[in-house]
Amino acid sequence: MRGRLGFAAAFTYAARVRAFGFPDCVSGPLANTTVCDASATPTARAQALIAMFTTDELVSNTNVGAPGVPRLGVPAYQAANEALHGIASSPGIVFAASGDFSFATSFPAPLHMSAAFDDPAIKAVGAVISTEGRAFNNAERAGLDYFTPNINPFRDPRWGRGQETPGEDPFRVAQYAYNFVEGLQGGIDPPQFKVVADCKHLAGYDLENPPGTNRFVFDAVISQQDLASYYLPPFQSCVRDAKAASIMCGFNAVNGLPSCADPFLLQTLLRDFWGFNEERWVTADCDAIEFMFDQRHFVPDLAHAAAAGMNAGADLDCGTTYGDNLGAALDMGLVNVSTIARALTRQYASFMRLGYFDPPASQPYRQLSWTDVNTPDAQQLAHQLAADGMVLLKNDGTLPLSPTIKKLALIGPWASATTAMQSNYAGPAPFLISPLAAAQSAGFAVTLEAGTQINSGDTSGFAAAVAAAQAADAVVFAGGIDNSVEAEGTDRTAIEWPGNQLDLIAQLAAVGKPLVVLQFGGGQVDDAVLKANANVSAIVWGGYPGQGGGTAVVDILTGKISPAGRLPVTQYPADYVNQVPMTDMTLRPSSTNPGRTYKWFTGTPTYEFGTGLSYTTFGVSFASPPAASYDIQALVSAGKGSAHIDLVLLDTFSVAVHNTGTVASDFVTLLFVNTTAGPAPFPTKELVSYVRSKGVGAGSTVTAQLPVTLGSIARTDEDGNAWLYPGDYTLLVGVPTEITRSFQLTGNKVQLSHFPASPS
């Protein structure tokens, strides 16, 4: 989200309304009406309310900053609330200058949290955020819906907003979306929503400003096959399975039609195919409706833009185009009053499920307060995910740091970072612990030298940095990238380390002391030089670790916590950016594309998706022998009666995880499948299940249970239909692959889904 100015500047798109409150169902005009009858259905209550609106009142309330209807006791409402990884600064959220409600728990960036591969923890994060959001709402400092999560897969390593996503794999992103939405909304389709989750951005939005284009006018040309198998599974999980109450359509067009004016996306797919019902609503990304006219020139004027969005199914405008122009569109006969009424009915039906119109005494969430914000449990969860999401990429035995190391040279642009650790879409944190502060608290005698900045050619700080390294027992370089080079509105054009950071690291390595490189940021930088340099002792990807990030870093470096995170993206060689333009949306390799993500990349990655080392060693084996074959017709027959055949289990595979070392550690088991069944070309492998086993003691064995669904092993044809194909399949466990097991699917192929045909 965010309109043309980007996150830092854009409070303008909804600034007309910044008010809160609750409807008066006791003594106001709505008392004793169906609107205030808690026994009526949410839709019936919403319909009764919207029927009381005049046409002007309907039109004025179609912006996210809605004035309400004072004569009915319906207060103004601001729908633009942000919470990608904690309650965040946004038009709908009012932080106090100090004291109560001056901050909220600031979790690591989504990409960082995803690297933990811990779904229960993601659900818990959603629960904390919704608790804190409710507390803010009860104090009239926030709304009840949140524009989160961002579930566009991280397709290209240059994308500036990849940090906001759970990574490049659609299966992983889909599981993250499901668990996060469940935590936010208080369950899967609960009778009462805790808050409303809004999954974004439908669809194919994953670039900002590559040379020659920008996100506001870009037309993402995507095949039905790629839409169905890569770009849309996270949204299916969010909508069909997790029952999210809201969806955001994106700036970009898909195959010629702006996403927010595309009936195929907003009606055929979203409502008809996935079952997005009338208690759920779509919001356009901020200024996306306006951009149809003044950026894209898709329509002749703003009235036509407003009508195009509303008629397609974009119920709410994050901007002011609807409120300012739907009246003219009505006069011109471009849209019907009933269509606008339907849009608001959808939004207010979700408000009914939020208890917005109900007495506080009957609403447990209305009792939450400031004491429920940044609790010790929330702080511990933020710390856990900061540490659990860090990934050990290289280690010659230097880590964990020996107790004999007392003097530490802490060098680099991230060494004393605070707010940088929060990533984007953040709000005021209760505290921010830098790597420097954490190292000092851990008892190290620390010499701090920046040495250089993120993207600088200035070498004037090199000498002091080298001198600090020479005087230390060990050297930690903290660098990488940050929001100065990857952000909303800012893609990278190169994926090597920016500026002269590698030059400084080379000089530090030449000193000959133990050297640990902390690589921060969301998008990966090519570590090939560091990987090959024997004097670089260890590399840790530190992501964006949030409020307690410094403590988590030091806990990893000292061995208080053994790393177990896995890369949720591929780390490509630097030359990858010269091999395929960002604007090429295809995934499969071709003469002009080396392939995208670990599934299709035909080159050799610097570090592959799923890489992650530990301070101990593990052995894995199948705890019980997997079946040698499965009959397709028997599988499908057993799944009859299921709401969704793709979610029926193929099997649950049991993998014994044995800690063969001397250190207790978590362990992430990744299960992939590959096959040559179905349409060519064939992916190298595809993630089908994973689990994080907690606290596996030295010498002990645990069993990882890995359920695999029919949908996860299905292949997608050129029309977007998913099929179970007979043929040979191989299970692959681990990165790099540690064990394999082959099985066959026998019988006749079966179609699991009938992807709707695009009118284009």
Closest by CA position to 564, among listed 647, 663, 468, 644? 663
DSSP H or E run through 346: helix 337-353
Q: Given the structure tokens 């490049």, which residue do they identify?
A: 168
Given the DSSP bridges, would you call strands 739-746 and 629-631 parallel, antiparallel or unpaired? parallel
How far is the C-alpha of 612 from the C-alpha of 229, rounded, in Å? 26
> Is 473 considered catalytic here?
no
Coil vs helix vs strand at 567:
coil
| DSSP reduced 3-state for 153 | coil
Question: Considering only CA atoms, which of 666, 654, 658, 741 is closest in space to residue 706?
Answer: 654
650, 638 contact by CB (below 8 A): no
201: which 2 tokens? 């951005």
Q: Which helix (H) or strand (E) holds 691?
A: strand 686-696
- Inter-residue contact 679 to 718 (CB < 8 Å): yes
Can you tell me the distance from the alpha carbon of 718 to that of 26, in angstroms, rounded to the nearest whole number? 57
Contact between 722 and 751 (Cβ < 8 Å): yes
Q: What is the identity of the amino acid at 387? A: A
Rounded CA separation 249/286 (Å): 10
Euclidean distance between CA atoms 483 and 313, whole angstroms: 34
* SS3 label, residue 198: strand
| Residue 634 burial (CB count, 10 A) | 11
Count H helices, E strands: the chain? 21, 27
Selecting among 118, 145, 285, 315, the annotated active-site residue is 285
- Residue 80: which of 3, 138, 4 has the closest Cα? 3
Cα separation, 285 vs 287, in Å, equals 6
Are 66 and 76 in contact by the 8 Å Cβ rule? The answer is yes
Catalytic residues: 285
